[in-house]
Chains A and B, each alone.
Chain A
Amino acid sequence: MTYGRGLRGLSLATVATISLAFALVFFYAPLDADQGFIQKIFYVHVPLAIVSLCGFIFGGVLAIAHLRTGDRRWDIRSYVAIHMSLIFGIAGLITGSIWAKASWGHWWEWSEPTLVSFLIVLLLFATYQPLRFAIEDPERQARYASVFAITAAAFVPLNFIAVRLAQQYVHPRVLTLGGGNLPGPMRLTFLISLAGIALLYVTLWKYEMTAKNARMQLRAARRALSGEDTIAPLRRSAAPS
């Protein structure tokens, strides 16, 4: 099984889409009448958050495949998906915080339900790696991590519903998910940014899978060539390999 196939084309497509997105953000999308230049962080922040949430759910779906088939490779895929989503999610939280400071004057805004639900989801998934690290047996680690990933993926939409309802007066949502009521040029820019960030996620996922896969094959080849004893056993780790 190789993951390297098509990686070059994918990487080039990612670079091209992200470059196009940034060009559109700076030279094409109009300045927001209220917020001015800082509103442009929206084109990075919202795609990061959406891609990271989709990545968490993707990780949960891969975990279902792991539990159904018992094949460790699905666990590795699920791990890489969640691990990438965590990085994207933290980046999304930081950019969101900067945007909140610039447009509302606070680093954190409790009345913005999307921000709050996102924080709760991130806090939950942040326990994924400590959980893996706390289980020594690799087979059990994979199984328990998959159970956790499925539970947490189901938690994502429920949590969004609960937090959204908990806000008594949601301020007018100009920027809904999917860019529902954005003016045309802004929507086009947003969609291309979203595609760029999604491609970046897929590319990074594929890169890490390729690296892990190559390392596993190398170890297997070494073991076959020079015998079981010459390879040092793996140290305990949160990452499956």
Chain B
Amino acid sequence: MRTVVTVLRKDLLLELRTLETVPAMILFSLVTFVIFHFGLNRATIAGQLAAGVLTATLLFAAMLGINRLFVAEREQGGFDAFLLAPVDRTALLIAKAAALFTFLAVLEVISVPAFGLLLLGPSLGPPLPGLIAVLALADVGLAVIGTLVSAIAVHTRARDLIGPVIGLPLLVPALIATARATGPLLAGQGHTSPPGKWIAILALYDLVFALLAYAVFDFLLED
């Protein structure tokens, strides 16, 4: 547990001092909203369309973070240092997933209100608690799968290509569940709690991939 906290602290401190990843993710999401505005030629959107735009934007912004997640370890020899230390290797998975989760949470704290301001027709206020619950579950899935994919991709020659190409199909079910769960919330018809079916699927998806990542992550670190 102490290892997890140490690595997580290192990652957050690194991000705070360099401000490399999260600001880029935020800027990316804002630009994507502008692109969607012109691409769809709509002043405001609502319902399933709004949910799709929000989910797709967050997914692609997350991809930026996923690509960068292990770059410091790779370039500065952090993998070797971690393997030399007498600690459980799963700690790296948990710490990295927690760091990615934090990045995504910060991204959403800024880009979801911006989405409400720029594109969303109905008010963001009433469905906000439900939306937070859905996005938190989605972030767990993104963080777990993202960490696994990033750990696979970082040792390949074309890591910026391999990461999204593997990660996006793996995240399609999470995207379906998130978009479907947020659709009714953003419709502006007084729905304040997301559909339970999709919450259950999202939770199941998170659970299965968390266990799977726990089982296979060790094999990505052996050397």
What is the distance, in angstroms, from A82's C-beta to the closest C-beta of chain B? 14
Q: For window 170-205 of chain B, which residues contact chain A by CB distance below 8 Å?
A: 170, 172-173, 176-177, 180, 197, 201, 204-205
Provide the residues of chain A in CB contact with B215, threshold 8 Å.
150
What is the distance, in angstroms, from A108's C-beta to the closest C-beta of chain B? 16
Judge whether B169 and A147 touch: CB under 8 Å.
Answer: no
What is the distance, in angstroms, from A98's C-beta to the closest C-beta of chain B? 24
Residue of A nearest to B172 (CB): A120
Q: From known contacts A134-B157, A151-B148, A165-B197, infer whether A123 and B169 are also in contact, taking CB-CB under 8 Å.
A: yes
Judge whether A144 and B173 touch: CB under 8 Å.
Answer: no
Judge whether B205 and A158 touch: CB under 8 Å.
Answer: yes
Judge whether A150 and B212 touch: CB under 8 Å.
Answer: yes
CB < 8 Å A-B pair total: 83
In the assembled complex, the Cα of A154 lies from the Cα of B214 at a distance in Å of: 14
Is B81's CB within 8 Å of the partner chain A? no
Judge whether B205 and A148 touch: CB under 8 Å.
Answer: no
Residue of B nearest to A168 (CB): B180
In the assembled complex, the Cα of A127 lies from the Cα of B168 at a distance in Å of: 11
Residue of B nearest to A125 (CB): B169
Number of interface residues of A (CB under 8 A): 29
Judge whether A163 and B166 touch: CB under 8 Å.
Answer: no
Q: From known contacts A120-B172, A136-B157, infer whether A148 and B166 are also in contact, taking CB-CB under 8 Å.
A: yes
Judge whether A161 and B201 touch: CB under 8 Å.
Answer: yes
Judge whether B205 and A134 touch: CB under 8 Å.
Answer: no
Provide the residues of chain A in CB contact with B212, threshold 8 Å.
150-151, 154
Provide the residues of chain A in CB contact with B159, threshold 8 Å.
134
What is the distance, in angstroms, from A102's C-beta to the closest C-beta of chain B? 28
Judge whether A131 and B166 touch: CB under 8 Å.
Answer: yes
Residue of B nearest to A154 (CB): B212
Within the complex, which residue of A124, A143, A144, A146 is in contact with B169, where a contact is CB–CB below 8 Å?
A: A124
Q: For window 155-176 of chain A, which residues contact chain B by CB distance below 8 Å?
A: 155, 158-159, 161-163, 165-166
Provide the residues of chain A in CB contact with B157, threshold 8 Å.
134-136
Judge whether A143 and B205 touch: CB under 8 Å.
Answer: no
Q: Which residues of A contact B (CB under 8 A)?
A: 67, 120-121, 123-124, 127, 130-131, 134-136, 140, 143-144, 146-148, 150-152, 154-155, 158-159, 161-163, 165-166
- A-B residue pairs in contact (CB < 8 Å), sample of 9: A120-B169, A127-B166, A130-B162, A146-B219, A147-B220, A148-B152, A151-B209, A151-B212, A154-B212
